[in-house]
Amino acid sequence: MEEPRPGKKGRHVAPTLLRRPARIVPVAALGVLAVGLGLAALVAGLQRVQHGVLPGWFAGPLHRLSRGSALTWSSWDSRWAWAGSVLLAVVAVVCLAGCVLPGGANGVRLSTGEASQAGGSREIFMADADLEGLVERWIRGHDGVRGVRVRRRGRRLVASVRTTVASPDLLREALARGCEDLVDSLGLARPMGVRLRLR
């Protein structure tokens, strides 16, 4: 459990449960752009090795950029320049949105009834690591389970279970039912499903 602290306007929010900007979005966008530019340079280099000259779609822009101060509006006023400008603008908007929009909270909120029993009108959260660890320990305590890993994916817990049982159908049914009962007993504010993967 995470101990909440006073926040803005009287709200109590645990420090580790604050919603952070989803910085993975701009990083992914920049990564895709970098990979695209790298692949273009690689293809151009291979054609230079095979044919002795750079391809026109690569040599043209490179030549214009190498002219330095000789660049004029006419050299940029082409469909490729406009397409590149639009692409850069889209990447910039995606990066800006990823830096501003909040990401998902790394915890689950208990229902109002459970929170009131804990005292006051504060919001009570359980961190994802605590929830995953609780389910992992419960599954690991069953016979035939060699290893288990539980991860939260949105509103679902995904449990990957390694078992030594030859016919795991009965074990799968027992674990699925038990995990669902365990999660329901926590009194979460929003229902959470459980998905088992036995191997």
Residue ranges per domain, the chain?
A: 24-100, 108-198
CATH class of 108-198: alpha beta
The CA distances from residue 67 to 45, 72, 75, 166, in Å, are 21, 10, 10, 71
Structure tokens at 37: 């530019």
Residue 118 has pLDDT above 70, yes or no: no
Residue 137 has pLDDT above 90, yes or no: yes
Q: What's the pLDDT at 3?
A: 43
Structure tokens at 43: 């293809």
- Quote the DSSP letter at residue 156: E
Residue 198, beta-bridge partner list: 161
The per-residue pLDDT of the chain, averaged, comes to 76
Q: What is the pLDDT of residues 36-85, one digit of tens each?
A: 888 888 888 888 888 888 787 877 776 666 555 444 444 455 676 677 77
State mean pLDDT over 142-152. Answer: 91
Q: Which residue has the higher pLDDT, 91 or 141?
A: 141
Is residue 18 within 8 Å of residue 97, measured between CB atoms? no
Q: What's the pLDDT at 67?
A: 59
Is residue 140 within 8 Å of residue 120, measured between CB atoms? no
Residue 121 has pLDDT above 80, yes or no: no
Q: What's the pLDDT at 136?
A: 93
Confidence of residue 2 (pLDDT cuts 50, 70, 90): very low
Q: What is the pTM of this model?
A: 0.53
